Chains A and B, each alone.
Chain A
Amino acid sequence: MAQKTKLIDVSKCTGCRGCQLACKQWNQQPAAQTENYGTYQNPPDLQSNTWTLIRFQEIADKDSVKWLFRKDGCMHCTDAACVKVCPSGALHYTEYGTVAINNERCIGCKECVSACPFDIPRYDRVTDKIYKCDLCLTRIQAALEPACVKACPTGALKFGDRADMLKLAYKRAAELGGNANVYGDKFVDGTHVLYVLQEKPSTYEKLPANPSVPLSIIAWKDLLKPLSLLAAGGVIAGSFLHYIIHGPKLPDEDQNHKGGE
C-alpha cells in the first residue's frame, strides 16, 4: 500500500478553522465550554476531544506584524515514539504508514503522552483513554481524503501519496523562497504530515525545531527492554550452569550428621 501523507501549506492557511470543525464533526467529538482568553485560538490547546487546532501566533517588530496560522495535530511519524512505547498495541502503524489508535486496546497508561516529541496524544480522564488524530483512517480506507483536507477551502491542506506530497512540498517551498522550508521529512524517519513553513521552524510556537524520538525512550525501549530478557535469561542459564558444573552448596557431611542429632 502506498504511503499516504497530508501536506499543510501554512502559506495558504487563512485561519478559517474549517478543518478544526470538520475534524470534530467527522470524528463526532463534542465541544467543551471555553472562554476567550485574549486570542482567536480556542480551545487553547489540543484536547482529548480536539485532535487538531489552528494555532494563532502574532509576531511583531517595530514596523510590521505577522499573523501566523498553523494547524497543529498528529505528525504520523514513521518512527513513532508513541507506537514504540504503547504497551497494548493500541497505537499502531497502518498500511498507509500513518499512526492510528485502536481505542479499545488503549489502557490509559499515558506513556505515549510523555513519549511524543510533538506533544500530541491527549488523555481523557472519563474514559481513561488516549485520543489523537488518526488521519481519518476509515476515510482513507474508503479512498476519501481526511475530513480536514476535505473542508479546507484554500488548498492549504492536501492529501495523497507520500512521494507526490514530498515533491509538491519542495516545489512550493522553492516557489515561496525566503525562509520557506519543508518540515517533516528529515526526522523520525519522516512524518506522514508535512509542513511547508514560511518561517523557520523555531519561529512557530509548540513546533520542535529538531524533533526526535527522545533518547530516554530509545534507552528504554531499544536498550533496556531487550536487556531485561537478556539479563533474566542470562541469570537463569548461569544458575543452570552453576548447578550442573559447580553443584549446589550443600552443608558439610559431618555437620549434617551432627545437625541431625
Chain B
Amino acid sequence: MTNHWIDFKNSDVILIMGSNPASNHPISFKWIQEAIDKKGAKLVCVDPRFTQSAAKAHLYAPLRSGTDIAVLGGMIKYILDNKLYFEEYVKEYTNSAFLVNPAFKMPGDNKGVFSGLVNAKYDKSTWTFQKDAAGIIKQDKTLRDPMCVFQLLKKHYSRYTPELVSRISGTPKDKLVEVYKTYASTGKPDKAGNILYAMGWTQHTVGVQNIRTMSMIQLLLGNVGIAGGGVQALRGESNVQGSTDQALLFHIIPGYLPTPASSLPTLKAYNEKNTPATKQPDSLNWWKNRPKYMASYIRAVYGTNVSLEEGYNLMPKVDTGANYSWLVLFDQMYKEKFTGFFAWGMNPACSGAHSNKVRKGLTKLDWMVNVNLFDNETGSFWRGPGMDPTKIKTEVFMLPCAASVEKEGSITNSGRWMQWRYKAVNPPGVALPDGDIMSELYYKIKELYEKKGGPLKDAFLKMTWDYGVKGFDGKIKHLDPHAIAKEINGVFQEDKKVENPSKKGEFKEFKKGDPVPSFAWLQDDGSTSSGNWIYCASYADKGNLSARRGTKDASGIGLYSDWSWSWPVNRRIIYNGASVDPSGKPWNPGTPVIRWNGTKWVGDVPDGAGNPGSGRLPFIMKPDGVGSIFGPGLADGPFPEHYEPLECPVEKNLMSPQKNNPAIRRFDKAGVGSDIDVYSGVASCDPRFPFVCSTYRVSEHWQTGVLTRWCPWLAEMQPGMFVEMSLELAKEKNIKNGEKVIVKSARGEVEATAIVTPRFKPFNIDGNAIHQVGIPWHFGWITTKDRVYKPGDKKAEVFTFGDSANLLTPTIGDANTMIPETKAFMVNVVKKGRG
C-alpha cells in the first residue's frame, strides 16, 4: 500500500475492484465506514459477483472477470474527454509531457500489440523517450505534441468507448458511466479517491497491467501521495508485505534489490547494471544509492569475513533470464528436476494452480519436508485422492512449527507497518519457531559441508550466524528475534566518521557495532551492514520502534506515527511529496500530509519534498522523478491494453485482433510446460467448458485452510466447497440451491454445493449471455469425513467438505510476475451423477 488502513477514512470516493474487503479484510470497513459517515464518502464496488462489499456499496457495477483494463481504460477516456484530470499535478508530477520515441507504435495501429514484439517477447527499444543533446528528456508542457505521453494516452484509450467497453465487460453502459463519473470527481485538488485491490487484480495474465491502469488513473486525478488516496494492495495474508520485503520472490533479495545473476559476475557489473542514472535536473533518483544497499546487505550476510567483492562472488546467482517463480518451480518438479523440497508454511497441493500437476510433481521427489502447524494435503499427498502409496518413492518428514502467537517477532502489514508481537504461549509438543528449525538446519548443513564439501560451500560457511546465545556445543539453540531485527536494521562494521546526509558539513562519529540511524547513513564501502535497507531505522539508537504502541495522532489525519514503525523511515504515506504543490502548499489544506511551517516540514516524514520551491520532483524512486503514466518497465507494454484471459468465453477480443496478452508464457507450447498442461477456450470457445470461473475467499478461512479448517468454530460457519451461480444458469442446468454439483475444467474436477443466488447474473457480452460461477479455494481433502482414516490419524472436530479449487485452475501466469490466472478460467458445472 502507498498509504495505510486508517487513511481510508480520508477518502471521498473509495473504489473496491479486484478485492472484497468486507469478507477478506473486515477491519478495513471500520475506516471505510468512517469515511462514509464522517466525510460523506461514496463507496463504489466493481466485481463480477455481488459480494459482501458490494452489499455495502453506494454503487455496484458488475463486470466479466478479466475485463478490468477495458473498464478502467474507459475511465481514462472519460477523464480525458471530460477534462476531469488534475492538470497541474499531471503536468508537474507525471511524465505526461515527455516526448516518446517517434518509432513507438500502439496496439490501435499495430494489430493489437505494441511495437517490438518478437516471439512472444517485447524488444523495448522503441519504448523510450526523446532526449536532447544533454541527455535530458524532451518535454512539451502544453501537452499538445502528438508524441507526448499525454496525447499518446489519449489516442490509445480513445478506442475504449463506453459502448465497446460494455460489449466486452458486460457492464451496463449507464453503470459504467456512473462509476466513471463518481470516481473522476476526485480529480479536484481537495478530493481524494482511493482504490482497494487484491488478488482480484493480480491473478490474471494481465495482473500487473490491471494495477498499472488504476495507478495511471490515480496520477491523472492527482490522487497519489495524498491522504485518502494512493493505491492500496490489500494483502492476502497478514505478513505477505513483510515476506515480500524480505525477498519472498526469486528475482529480488531483501529490500527490492535484484538477485545477483550469472551474467553479472562482479559487484561492479551488478551495480552498473542495476543502478539507474538520470540527467533530469531536479530528480533525486534515489536508486542511485543502490550500491550502498547492496554493500550493506553483503555485510549483513557475511559480516567482515570476506571483502564486498568476494561476498558478491559467493552469493548464489540466478541464470540470467531464467524464471524461478512458483509455476515454473512446480513445472520443473513435475519434470523430475528436483530431488528434495521444503514446503515451509505452504500447502502447494492446494494452493498451487493446477494442483493435480503439483500433487503429481510431489510424487517425483526423493524427499520432502513439510514444516507446518498441521499435517496438510501436501504432507500427506501420497495418500490423497488417486494416489497409490505403494508406488510413491517420496520420503516425507513433518516438522511441526510454532504458530504466530507461540513465538516472538514482527509482521509487516499491508500498510507497511512493522509491528512487533510477543509470544503468548509455548508451542505444543516438539514444535519449534521457524527460526529455531532453521538454526538446527544451519548447523547440520554446516557440518555436512565441512565434512563432505559441495557446491556453494563457502557461500554457506562464510555466512555469519550470530543470532543468540551459544550453548556449550557452540550452537545457538533459540534464535533471538531481536538479534535478527538488529541485523536487518544494520550496524556499523567499523569506527567511522560520517557526514550527515541531510546536513552538508556536519559529521557524526560511529563506533563499530553502533546501529545505523537510517538508510541515508548506509555506505557503499563496506563500513555498514543492513539486512534490508528499507527497514533501516526500525531498530536503531531508539531501540525497537516496531514495538511502539503510542496512540497519539499529532497529524490529525490518522497517521499515528508513534504506533509501531512503518517502512521507509516511519513514513506513513509514501510519495507524500506529491501532496503539495510545487511551491510547497498542500493541495488539500483540509487533510495535509506534510506542511511547511516556515523552517521545516511537519506531519508525515516528507518523501521527495525538498525545500518548498526547490523544484524537487516528488517521485524519487523513479529515475525521472515523476509518476509514470507511460511505463516502459513492464514486459507487456507501456500502456495497459485489454486482452482476454487465456481461457475465455469469447471468440475474439473486441478491442483488437490480438486475443491474449502476447507476452505470456504458455505452458502448452512445445518445450515449455508439461503433458498435463492443457487449456480450454483459447483459440475459440470450447463448448465443454462454457462458464467463466473465479476462485476467491470467505471470511472464515485463511489461505488453503490449513489453519482454519481444523478450527471447529470456523469450519462450522463455512463447512465446505461451494459454487455460486446465477438463478438463470441453475435453471438452465436444472440445479437446485443446496444440491451437490461437479465443477469441471480441462484439468480436473471438484465436488461442491450449489449456491444459487441472485447475486450472480449472466453477462450480456456483445449480445451473448455469458455465465460466471465462483468457488472458494480454502478446502482440501484432509479434513473431510469420507477420506480414509488410519488409527492415530487426527480427525477434524467439524469436518469440511470438498477438495481444492486449484484442481481446476490453469498453469498460466501474468506476463511480469507469473501469478497464476485463477480469477478467470473456464469450467462446466453439472449436477452430481449426471456425467
Contacts and interface: CB of A to CB of B under 8 A. Distances in A.
- Report if A and B associate in a common complex: yes
Interface in A15-63: 15-18, 20-21, 24-25, 30-40, 42-43, 58, 60
A58 B753 contact: no
A14 B24 CA distance: 11
B713 interface: yes
Interface string A143-163: 000000000011100000000
A58 B54 CA distance: 13
Interface string B18-29: 000011001101
Contact of B55 (A31, A42, A67): A67
Contact of B797 (A15, A31, A43): A31
Nearest to A23: B713
A33 B798 contact: yes
Contacts of A21: 713-714, 717
A32 B717 CA distance: 9
Given A14-B22, A58-B758, A153 B30 contact: yes
Contacts of A37: 738, 753
B33 A30 contact: no
B720 interface: yes
Nearest to B715: A31
B499 interface: no
Contacts of A250: none
A20 B799 CA distance: 19
Contacts of A66: 55
A42 B30 CA distance: 24
B26 A42 contact: no
B256 interface: no
Given A15-B52, A39-B755, A30 B712 contact: yes
Contact of B52 (A14, A20, A39): A14
A65 interface: yes
Nearest to A172: B37
B755 A58 contact: no
Interface in B688-715: 698-700, 712-715
B692 to A, nearest CB: 19
B803 to A, nearest CB: 14
Contact of A34 (B37, B55, B798): B798
B758 A42 contact: no
Contacts of B759: 58, 65, 67
A123 interface: no
Nearest to A11: B56
A110 interface: no
B719 interface: yes
B580 interface: no
A42 B29 contact: no
A38 B755 contact: yes
Contact of B720 (A17, A36, A39, A69): A36
B192 interface: no
Contacts of A122: none
Contact of B717 (A14, A20, A25): A20
B55 A15 contact: yes
A16 B720 contact: no
Contacts of B52: 14-16, 67, 69
Nearest to B698: A40
A12 interface: yes
Contacts of A60: 758
Contacts of B718: 36, 40, 42
B50 interface: yes
Given A31-B797, A35-B801, A42-B717, A67 B50 contact: yes
Nearest to A35: B719
B565 interface: no
B753 A36 contact: yes
B323 interface: no
B754 interface: yes
A35 B720 contact: yes
The majority secondary structure among interface residues of chain B is mixed
The range of chain B's interface size is 35 or more
Contacts of A12: 29, 33
B319 interface: no
Interface residues of A, number: 34
A97 B756 CA distance: 42
Contact of B29 (A31, A33, A36, A153): A153
A174 to B, nearest CB: 13
Contacts of B715: 31, 34
B6 to A, nearest CB: 13
Interface string B711-731: 011111111111000000000
A34 B797 CA distance: 11
B555 interface: no
Contacts of A25: 713
A37 B739 CA distance: 8
A127 B40 CA distance: 51
B738 A38 contact: yes
B716 A42 contact: yes
B684 interface: no
Contact of B23 (A16, A32, A35): A16
B795 to A, nearest CB: 12
B53 interface: yes
Contacts of B33: 12, 154-155
B171 to A, nearest CB: 13
B737 interface: yes
A24 B759 CA distance: 29
A32 B716 contact: yes
A204 to B, nearest CB: 14
Nearest to A67: B55
Contacts of A31: 712-713, 715-716, 797-798
A65 B753 contact: no
Contacts of B713: 21, 24-25, 31
Contacts of B758: 58, 60, 65
B26 A16 contact: yes
A38 B29 contact: no
B798 A154 contact: no
Nearest to B799: A33
B325 interface: no
Interface in B766-799: 797-799
* Residue from A15, A30, A58, A155 with most neighbouring chain B CB atoms (10 Å): A15
* Residue from B26, B712, B715 with most neighbouring chain A CB atoms (10 Å): B26
A209 to B, nearest CB: 23
B29 A154 contact: yes
A65 B61 CA distance: 11
B757 interface: yes
Contacts of B738: 36-38
A68 B759 CA distance: 12
Nearest to B54: A67
Nearest to B29: A154
Contacts of B737: 38-39
A24 B56 CA distance: 26
Nearest to B754: A38
A46 to B, nearest CB: 13
Contacts of A33: 716, 719, 798-799
Interface in A155-187: 155, 175
Contact of A69 (B54, B55, B754): B55
Contacts of B721: 36
Closest 5 CB pairs of A and B: A38-B738, A60-B758, A31-B712, A38-B737, A31-B716
Given A34-B798, A154-B29, 13 more contacts: A15-B52, A17-B700, A24-B713, A34-B715, A34-B717, A36-B722, A38-B737, A38-B754, A39-B755, A40-B718, A43-B716, A58-B758, A153-B26
22 contacts: A14-B23, A14-B26, A14-B55, A17-B717, A31-B713, A31-B798, A32-B798, A33-B716, A33-B798, A34-B798, A35-B719, A35-B753, A35-B801, A36-B753, A36-B755, A38-B755, A65-B758, A67-B54, A68-B55, A69-B55, A154-B26, A154-B33
Interface of B: 22-23, 26-27, 29-30, 33, 37, 50, 52-56, 698-700, 712-722, 737-739, 753-759, 797-799, 801
